[in-house]
A and B are shown apart, each in its own frame.
Chain A
């Protein structure tokens, strides 16, 4: 029996104790815990009061070292590619090409005074791939790629996570590329002329031997690269022809000793083309230097290019089926002229064509044009007039899209007949319910009116007395 009363007593006291706790919390609702962040001294003292923060308008400040959305201040970026190489998941895509000396002024310098020597048409960060490790931010020499405190940037479409930081319009890019190509051609021609003067020799046989090898060596790597990279951009073939030719062409002129190395470099160049804008020009130069310094081997270049200065370089865009076009040409004229002409010309453009293209663009050309045209090269040994073709870069399809504030879509509900009908039916149902309630009350009133005659109240309970 005492157990019974004890249980009841416990029940009462614990209920009261519980009510006390909730009452205290309710009274404390006048206070808010505030938005002191983890870095704040007061962080652990925020005990009393409402814990909720109204998120979009109230946020706990993110620490300064927090790693959230990346931002690249493109105007401060020198396109050095170090961030892309640091990234463990390859989510940064950089495309850049040299600034011609007369444009250096226009290219300007970064906020810390570094001169910019590369244009930056493409700087894409795929934030869907990014794992927020922040490794890309450390090597940046100009500190332009940074982690921002913005962490709330979800999207409905994954492709919206690719942020475009490149700071050139497609038109400007095309113009500058053209200019660069022209400049490089002129420069190469100049250099070739200087180099050619002392050494008129032919090393056709070496070239014959090596050229196919180069073609063979390159294609597996390219194929691998192709598998890795699925995106093909619009003007693939046009660019590709040049590219392959440029990659493949130096080989014929290189000395046998350097051949393997040069080929490897060139292949690497072409294969790893995309993310290494800075490196590729250097390698290309290296290859070119080797070729030039290779004594007798340099001859064909000299021979071929010699006529160049006399001829104005025609500005024409290389049509897509260039490979096919050049090929028949080669066969027609047999061993005499144009193949040699076109080949070294694009060979020269190795140096020119600093610019990198996704490897898969290179691939088709490697298959058909490069191998074949190169094969025809050795036959030539006579100096021939050269047609210099300057590639015209087609404007890129990608728009320059700044990753500024994205306004979320607002989706209005569809207005459908069924919705309206169901609304009407529910209203009618509601009205019926209300009617039922009223009817009940009415019936009650009637019932009362019928059944209760006015009766005298009991005198003894009438408090009014």
Chain B
């Protein structure tokens, strides 16, 4: 179906960079600069979006002063951060203190090397791509520990220790959920995982619609990835209300900016991984119906970038949405959720997927069953969110009307 692009994704970085410049080394620099610029721009926009969305959810206006609707607010913030004095506390372990943010940022950014942004652009079509991505991202915990320990500050140390416990724990359900996608694709190469979800059926070829267990794995991975990004409701390592700012209490200026950048980079990276594994990555969701070749018309390298952006950014939105909805978990609740809920269900998903792949995947009846289950789950969710009346607190309108 995509014969023209096959040579590109098959050879990954080299062919891409060579086609850019004809020179492999210079091409690598350019190819790796793309995601870097992208992460920086994304953080710029995402911070603004997060502030605006959170404001709207809390009936506020959010930034309004810098530029129209405060559009230039994050640029002003960056300028402020750049101007700030680069302080290293006297009592800090200087080397560890300085190396911490570097490890955090590099490990979060390094994941971008294998993320397939389009059929024609993936930094590297590594044959162990997804494995590399989740392991290099997990390296972040080393940086967080370095920050917390090097700061020589009790809040920072608490935050770092919490982060270590949390990230290591959530690696397990996250890894198992990833395994579900890998089992369905039969490969660790992220580009090939995306290819495996293409086809005339469009959206129905996405893994999440191919197996009821993929739904489970999808939800588990999303929750676990929240915890790995230290996003609310799993923001115990930062816990502003308890730990000042957690592991980056002592950081300011550019070092803080890099920790921040890493957080947003990480948010986007896990969203891309999620959409690659379960939602078809850069594949178009439209099916080919008869002579109307919607799928083919909306496929291609540039379309691909659009699709994966739409998918990932909507996950980023849900991450923001959740952050401003849910209160922070207690440490014991965090561990309960990980070990007693997510991990057993992840095992169920892996086992179920194995059985499903062996016996049911090929039959259209079973896929139909899967769609029905999935559709029911979606309907239930919508019902709960938009229709159901119940324990949700009464709106002030009612209270005032009774006066």
Which A residues form the contact surface with B (CB < 8 A)? 4, 8, 12-23, 25-26, 28-29, 44-45, 47-52, 54, 418-419, 422-423, 425-427, 429-430, 432-434, 436-438, 440-442, 444-446, 448-449, 452, 454-455, 457-458, 460-464
- Do B325 and A448 have beta carbons less than 8 Å apart? no
- Do B392 and A26 have beta carbons less than 8 Å apart? no
- Stretch binding the partner chain, chosen from B51-59, B266-274, B287-295: B51-59
- Do A442 and B29 have beta carbons less than 8 Å apart? yes
- Do B33 and A461 have beta carbons less than 8 Å apart? no
- Do B126 and A52 have beta carbons less than 8 Å apart? no
| Cβ of B153 to closest chain A Cβ, rounded Å | 20
| Cβ of A3 to closest chain B Cβ, rounded Å | 12
Residue of A nearest to B197 (CB): A463
B127 within 8 A of A: yes
Interface bracket on B: 35 or more
> For chain B residues 252-278, which have a beta carbon within 8 Å of chain A?
253-255, 257-258
Residue of A nearest to B323 (CB): A22
The contact string, 1 if C-beta is below 8 Å from chain A, for chain B 17-54, is: 10000001000110111011000000000000000010
* Alpha-carbon separation in the docked complex, A426 to B325 (Å): 36
Residue of A nearest to B384 (CB): A16
| Cβ of A402 to closest chain B Cβ, rounded Å | 31
Q: A26-B57, A463-B196, A464-B195 are in contact. Are A16 and B83 (CB under 8 A)?
A: no
| Cβ of B104 to closest chain A Cβ, rounded Å | 10
Question: Which residues of A sit under 8 angstroms from B55, Cβ to Cβ?
Answer: 29, 52
Question: Which residues of A sit under 8 angstroms from B36, Cβ to Cβ?
Answer: 434, 437-438, 441
- Do B326 and A460 have beta carbons less than 8 Å apart? no
- Do B84 and A426 have beta carbons less than 8 Å apart? yes
Question: Which residues of A sit under 8 angstroms from B110, Cβ to Cβ?
Answer: 437, 440-441, 444
B385 within 8 A of A: yes
| Cβ of B204 to closest chain A Cβ, rounded Å | 14
Which B residues form the contact surface with A (CB < 8 A)? 1-3, 6, 10-14, 17, 24, 28-29, 31-33, 35-36, 53, 55-61, 64, 82-86, 101-102, 105-106, 109-110, 112-113, 123-124, 126-127, 185-187, 192, 195-199, 253-255, 257-258, 321-322, 324-326, 340-341, 381, 384-386, 388, 390-393, 395-397, 400, 403
Question: Which residues of A sit under 8 angstroms from B86, Cβ to Cβ?
Answer: 422, 425-426, 429
- Do A26 and B123 have beta carbons less than 8 Å apart? no
17 A–B contact pairs at CB < 8 A?
A: A13-B391, A23-B321, A26-B56, A29-B59, A52-B59, A422-B85, A425-B86, A429-B254, A430-B254, A433-B258, A438-B33, A441-B32, A445-B13, A454-B10, A455-B127, A461-B192, A463-B199
Point out the residue from B64, B102, B255 that lies within 8 Å of A54, measured CB to CB. Answer: B64
| Cβ of B35 to closest chain A Cβ, rounded Å | 8
Q: A26-B57, A458-B186 are in contact. Are A47 and B126 (CB under 8 A)?
A: no
- Do A457 and B126 have beta carbons less than 8 Å apart? no
Question: Which residues of A sit under 8 angstroms from B321, Cβ to Cβ?
Answer: 19, 22-23, 26
Residue of B nearest to A425 (CB): B86
Question: Which residues of B sit under 8 angstroms from A433, Cβ to Cβ?
Answer: 101-102, 105, 254, 258
- Do A438 and B32 have beta carbons less than 8 Å apart? yes
Point out the residue from A17, A419, A427 that lies within 8 Å of B391, measured CB to CB. Answer: A17
Residue of A nearest to B400 (CB): A44
Point out the residue from A44, A442, A454 that lies within 8 Å of B11, measured CB to CB. Answer: A454
- Do B6 and A448 have beta carbons less than 8 Å apart? no
Question: Which residues of B sit under 8 angstroms from A463, Cβ to Cβ?
Answer: 1, 195-199
Question: Which residues of A sit under 8 angstroms from B59, Cβ to Cβ?
Answer: 25, 28-29, 49-52
- Do A423 and B82 have beta carbons less than 8 Å apart? yes
| Cβ of B19 to closest chain A Cβ, rounded Å | 14
Question: Which residues of A sit under 8 angstroms from B60, Cβ to Cβ?
Answer: 50-52
Residue of B nearest to A421 (CB): B85
Point out the residue from B32, B109, B322, B392 that lies within 8 Å of A20, measured CB to CB. Answer: B392
Question: Which residues of A sit under 8 angstroms from B33, Cβ to Cβ?
Answer: 438
Point out the residue from A25, A419, A445 that lies within 8 Å of B58, measured CB to CB. Answer: A25
* Most chain B beta-carbon contacts within 10 A, residue among A438, A448, A454: A448
* Most chain B beta-carbon contacts within 10 A, residue among A13, A49, A463: A463
Question: Which residues of A sit under 8 angstroms from B14, Cβ to Cβ?
Answer: 445, 448-449
Question: Which residues of B sit under 8 angstroms from A436, Cβ to Cβ?
Answer: 102, 105-106
Question: Which residues of B sit under 8 angstroms from A438, Cβ to Cβ?
Answer: 29, 32-33, 36
Q: A52-B59, A52-B61 are in contact. Are A20 and B113 (CB under 8 A)?
A: no
Closest 4 CB pairs of A and B: A441-B32, A29-B56, A16-B384, A422-B85
Question: Which residues of A sit under 8 angstroms from B396, Cβ to Cβ?
Answer: 47
- Do A461 and B255 have beta carbons less than 8 Å apart? no
Residue of B nearest to A431 (CB): B254
A-B contacts besides A19-B321, A437-B110, A440-B113, 19 pairs, CB < 8 Å: A4-B340, A17-B390, A20-B392, A26-B56, A26-B57, A52-B59, A52-B60, A418-B85, A419-B83, A429-B86, A429-B254, A434-B36, A436-B102, A441-B32, A441-B36, A442-B28, A445-B13, A463-B197, A463-B199
* Alpha-carbon separation in the docked complex, A310 to B217 (Å): 118
| Cβ of A179 to closest chain B Cβ, rounded Å | 56
Q: A433-B105, A458-B186 are in contact. Are A17 and B192 (CB under 8 A)?
A: no
Point out the residue from A12, A432, A445 that lies within 8 Å of B28, measured CB to CB. Answer: A445
- Do B385 and A441 have beta carbons less than 8 Å apart? no
Residue of A nearest to B61 (CB): A52
| Cβ of A174 to closest chain B Cβ, rounded Å | 50
* Alpha-carbon separation in the docked complex, A433 to B101 (Å): 9
